Amino acid sequence: MDTSPVYLNQLGLVCSLGHSHDEVLQALSSDNRESLSATTDYSSKTVYVGQVAEPLASLDDQPAHIQSRNNQLLKMAYAQVEAEFNKLSQDIPADRIGVVLGSSTSGIAEGEKAIKYWVENEQLPADFDYRRQEISAPAITLAQWSGAKGPCYTISTACSSGAKALASARRLIQSGLCDVVLAGGVDSLAGLTVNGFDALDSVSAGRCNPFSANRDGINIGEGCGLFVVSREPSKVCLSGAGESSDAHHISAPHPDGAGAVAAMQKALTNAALQPADIDYINLHGTATEQNDRMESRAVNQVFGSDTPCSSTKGYTGHTLGAAGAIEAGFAWLLLQYQPNQLPLNLSDMIADDELSPLMLVTQQNSQTDKLKHIQSNSFAFGGNNISLILSEAQS
């Protein structure tokens, strides 16, 4: 396998922080938590969610099976990268252009509406099409929009899906199967996920508090992070990826973070870097009792307590299958534009003495002079773990 650099040439990003690079980057330097809003749209009780603001992309001219909120988010992200994708792929055969996406929900929100209609009317809506909610739908749809005819699939490994899509895209290029890949993650809010996590006692009663003694669960979010991935040099490369599967428990992480440690160490080895080379870590940081305890131990074991780190889920909520791609997107923005402030660890910052020491980013220590290497963690159900390293490309 050719291990020469693979670049992230362009980013399309949509989340509760905004619909553009400028909006998102500006929001990441703020301590405003209004992007997590209270609603009863997805549950019988009030929950806080990271919902993308209207208006969404219109799909009225698309076939019924494409018309889902998930695909609306995907369409918005694709519009941001389409010009760069067309430029890089114009002389490349369509069968050497791939699509790899991560998703947990696909079009299940539309499936929920159809079932509700069926319960009330004893028949499905006239426009119901099961293909909307198939997990393959986002990748197939994007391949149709882009004209890609190479490998095309959706990865659904819960919260690691979007990051795994990027690692998979990198392998497709390094193995010689593809020259350009559209890769990322997309997930939309739905009652299934909000109530499912609530059934696990994992949904916060308010806005989430990553790594706080007062943390009591997650806020579900939605969004899309989409990259154009190729060998064409650009400012940011995907320099490392490390994956592990500790299979400790169907939903709980390994308490000592064994799989998380393995993923982070593999990513560093893959990128030929040492822990001291990493300038900032985007933590998985779900604000659940077990994840934050596990991750603090794992990160402290690999990096000690001197590497700046934060969970950005206090801004966006947990976007599930899209999280790994969206948070890699935040790393891309930091490397691409080199702002002088790191994303804050948004919470009430009440210290938990049971957590291993970390250098969590606050307003007091958020300033940075230069970013070269950023590591981003995603840890999923079943011990399905991945850590990515994005780097400023060498000139």
SS (H, E, C) 198-228: HHCCCECCCCCCCCCCCCCCECEECEEEEEE
Contact 6, 231 (CB under 8 A): yes
HEC profile for the chain? CCCCCCEEEEEEEEECCECCHHHHHHHHCCCCCCCCEEECCCCCCCEEEECCCCCCCCCCCCCHHHCCHHHHHHHHHHHHHHHHHHHHHCCCCHHHEEEEEECCCCCHHHHHHHHHHHHHHCCCCCCCCHHHHCCCHHHHHHHHHHCCCCCEEEECCHHHHHHHHHHHHHHHHHCCCCCEEEEEEEECCCHHHHHHHHHCCCECCCCCCCCCCCCCCECEECEEEEEEEECCCCCEEEEEEEEEECCCCCCCCCCCCHHHHHHHHHHHHHCCCCHHHCCEEEECCCCCHHHHHHHHHHHHHHHCCCCEEEECHHHHCECHHHHHHHHHHHHHHHHHHCCCECCCCCCCCCCCCCCCCCEECCCCCCECCCCCEEEEEEEEHHHEEEEEEEEECCC
pLDDT of res. 262: 96
The strand pairing partners of 86, in sequence order, are none
Q: What gap in Å lies between CA 303 and CA 40, rounded to an integer?
A: 41
Which position has the token pair 């997309």?
A: 186
pLDDT recorded at residue 260: 96
- Residue 92, CA distances (Å) to 148, 343, 368 in order: 10, 37, 40
pLDDT of 395 reads 62
* pLDDT reported for residue 166: 98
Specify the pLDDT at position 119.
94
Determine what percent of the chain is predicted with pLDDT higher than 70.
99
Catalytically active residues are: 159, 284, 318
Q: What is the mean pLDDT of each run of 10 residues along the chain (395 residues)?
A: 90 97 96 94 94 95 95 98 98 98 95 93 92 96 98 96 98 98 98 92 95 97 98 98 86 82 98 98 96 96 98 97 98 97 95 96 94 97 91 86
pLDDT in tens, 118-143: 999 999 999 899 999 999 999 999 99
Superfamily the domain 7-392 falls into: Thiolase/Chalcone synthase (3.40.47.10)
DSSP strand pairing (97-102 vs 152-155): parallel
Give this prediction's pTM.
0.97
pLDDT at 256: 83
Instruction: Give CA angle at 324 (47, 390), nearest 5°.
Output: 140
Nearest to 204 by CA among 105, 296, 314: 314
What percentage of the chain reaches a pLDDT higher than 90? Answer: 92
